[in-house]
Amino acid sequence: MSKHLDDIEPMIYESRISVPYQWWAGETASAFFVSLRDRKIIQGTRCPDCSRVYVPPRKTCPSCFNRSMKPVEVSNSGTVTAYTVARRQFASLPRKVPVIFGLVQLDGADTSLLHYIEGVDPDEMSIGLRVEAEYAEERTGNIRDIKCFRAIGQERS
């Protein structure tokens, strides 16, 4: 393992679901989470052979299997490529329903990132909606450092 990870403590996320194990995010995902936490930057990886940009980042290109992926910054804004609306409240869902989950293809990326979509009525949600990352005020180095993706031009609630 890289020496620059020696001083990093594992992060433990307390949730309402009992998960009887811990896991290490690894070097690639750790860099992604650190850039979210410390700089509010969404980082992907670019394959030097096929030039595809993956967000979340991949250690190995799933298209051509190149292992020399390079980190690259992508935009905080993008386009919703698919979505679903959760209308039933479950204990594992920390937000009040209805909740919109969307796949967001960020500008500069070739893949999509799954996250919450806010700032749009669920009945008016559509593929192609432009959204922008809204960051959590307190960031701890996990995917929830992005609070949500908000419809561009919509007021914060």
Give the mean model confidence (pLDDT) for residues 27-54.
95
pTM here is 0.80
Cα–Cα dist 119/127, whole Å: 14
- Domain boundaries in the chain? 76-151
pLDDT greater than 80 at residue 44: yes
Q: Give the confidence band of 108 by pLDDT, cuts at 50, 70, 90.
A: very high
Interval 35-42 mean pLDDT: 96
> May I ask the CATH architecture of the domain 76-151?
Beta Barrel (2.40)
Torsion of CA 65, 71, 73, 77, to 10 degrees: 30
Q: What are 80-91's pLDDT values in tens digits?
A: 999 999 998 887
157: confidence class by pLDDT, cuts 50, 70, 90: very low
DSSP per position, 30-53:
HHHHHHHHHH--EEEEE-TTT--E
Task: Return d(Cα 66, Cα 48) in angstroms, integer.
Answer: 8
Q: How are beta strands 53-54 and 146-151 bridged, if at all? A: unpaired
Place of tokens 């922008």: 132
Does position 21 have pLDDT exceeding 80, yes or no? Answer: no
Predicted local confidence at residue 2, as pLDDT: 60
pLDDT bracket for residue 73 (50, 70, 90): very high
The residues pairing with 149 across neighbouring beta strands, listed in sequence order, are 117, 133
pLDDT for position 9: 75
